[in-house]
Amino acid sequence: MAPKALQPLLPRVRAGLRRLARRRPAARRLMVVAAKELARALDDDVYSSSYFGAGRDPLDRMGLSGYERYDRDTSNANAAAYMVWKNFDVRTTLDVGCATGFVVEGLSELGMDATGTDVSQYAIEHPALGAQGRLVWGDLTDRLPFKTGQFDLVTALETLEHLPPNVVPAALAELRRVTRRYLVCTIPSFGPNEHGPGGWFNVKVRGELQADYEAKGPEYDGPVPYDDLFRDEQGEPIEGHLTIASFRWWTRQFEAAGFVRCGEVERRIHPDLARFGLTKYWNLYVLRTPDAPVPAPALRSPDEVADVERRFSLDTRQPDPEDVRRVEESLPS
Ligand SMILES: C[S@@+](CC[C@H](N)C(=O)[O-])C[C@H]1O[C@@H](n2cnc3c(N)ncnc32)[C@H](O)[C@@H]1O
């Protein structure tokens, strides 16, 4: 959207450029090249079209980072929106690292005033249908384009591990700035987890180093040094993951930024993640600001829950018995 003062001029400028392009083939070629180059200049080096699956063979990951296809199903956006709706009594939400906005779309369908932000110009310009007009470009390592305390609840799903360790404290401080009450994150983590199943080193550190890292024992917190991170076929850190650390390390970072971890809410959510086959993929952190109450249990009636599970096709997900066992073992009886 052009700045307000320029908007009255736009139809005339566009009509003039269109006339020029019709009359002069060289001018048309120049405009096409300029438009493509501008889009490239604005896009992010890593999180561009190919990261989100454009031009990929959908059956072959080719050893490259990113998605072979990125959609509401493969991104687990239905489970994410359901998890927020079921467990938090909130109205305004922000999804940081929203990609093309499937979580924003899901939360809007569940009645929330949902917004998304991402550093990828490509993703912001290819919004899911229900996220149109709700995605805003933003870089978490800089100041996000939102007011202090603007959102009841902020999510950062599979996103914080993409930042280098040295910028994590400032990024979490920025998340704290825009969060009024709750922050929900999933971050690939290793080591023991006080409030649910623990994590591991597999596909996080280089294969030949995995046994060495496992031998470090439960006291090791990381972050794993850059040179030891698992690589894709191009030799880059897999999926763009730059901060690989323990649950304990991340918890300390959140606390230093002014959040309080809500273990009891995580314990409520883990059985659902196991039912949806997500325990292996999502290492969960639920946090609140110091003034926010611990979210109450059973916010939604069984009928409402069953209805949303049906609408979001979560009732047909296959639980992995191994996940169910790990969750049961990790929770107090
Ligand atoms: C693995 S994808 C996760 C996307 C989505 N949250 C999901 O769970 O499917 C990581 C996302 O983080 C975004 N991202 C990476 N660095 C970022 C930054 N500094 N600020 C905002 N978004 C960022 C990427 O563009 C990408 O969309």
Out of 118, 140, 154, 239, mutate this one to test ligand 1's pocket (max ligand atoms within 8 Å of CB): namely 118
Rounded Cα–Cα distance for residues 270 and 44 (Å): 34
What is the full per-residue pLDDT of the chain (333 aa) written as tens digits? Answer: 667 788 888 889 999 999 998 889 899 889 888 887 887 777 777 777 777 767 666 565 556 666 667 788 888 999 999 999 999 999 999 999 999 999 999 999 999 999 999 999 999 999 999 999 999 999 999 999 999 999 999 999 999 999 999 999 999 999 999 999 999 999 999 999 999 999 999 999 999 999 999 999 999 999 999 999 999 888 999 889 999 999 999 999 999 999 999 999 999 999 999 999 999 899 999 999 999 999 999 999 999 999 999 999 999 988 889 998 999 888 776
Residue type (1 letter), 236 = E
Q: Thinking of the domain 77-330, which architecture would CATH place it in?
A: 3-Layer(aba) Sandwich (3.40)
- Measured by CA distance, the residue closest to atom 17 of ligand 1 is 119
Give 160 Cα–ligand 1 centroid separation in angstroms. 8
Which pLDDT belongs to residue 66?
A: 60
Rounded Cα–Cα distance for residues 194 and 209 (Å): 26
Among 57, 82, 231, 232, which residue's Cα sits nearest to residue 157?
82
Compute CA distances 197 → 183, 251, 259, 264, whole Å.
Answer: 20, 15, 21, 14
Does the bond joining 223 to the residue before it have cis omega, within 30 degrees of 0?
A: yes
Give 53 Cα–ligand 1 centroid separation in angstroms. 14
Domain range summary for the chain, segments of one domain joined by +:
12-42, 77-330
pLDDT in tens, 267-317: 999 999 999 999 989 999 999 999 999 999 999 999 999 999 999 999 998
Q: Is there an atom of ligand 1 within 6 Å of 139 CB?
A: yes
Give 197 Cα–ligand 1 centroid separation in angstroms. 24
Q: Is there an atom of ligand 1 within 6 Å of 162 CB?
A: yes
pLDDT in tens, 14-56: 999 999 988 898 998 898 888 878 877 777 777 777 777 676 6
Dig out the tokens for 146 from the structure: 């939102």
- Measured by CA distance, the residue closest to atom 9 of ligand 1 is 75
Out of 51, 117, 159, mutate this one to test ligand 1's pocket (max ligand atoms within 8 Å of CB): namely 159
Give 100 Cα–ligand 1 centroid separation in angstroms. 10
Q: Is there an atom of ligand 1 within 6 Å of 43 CB?
A: no
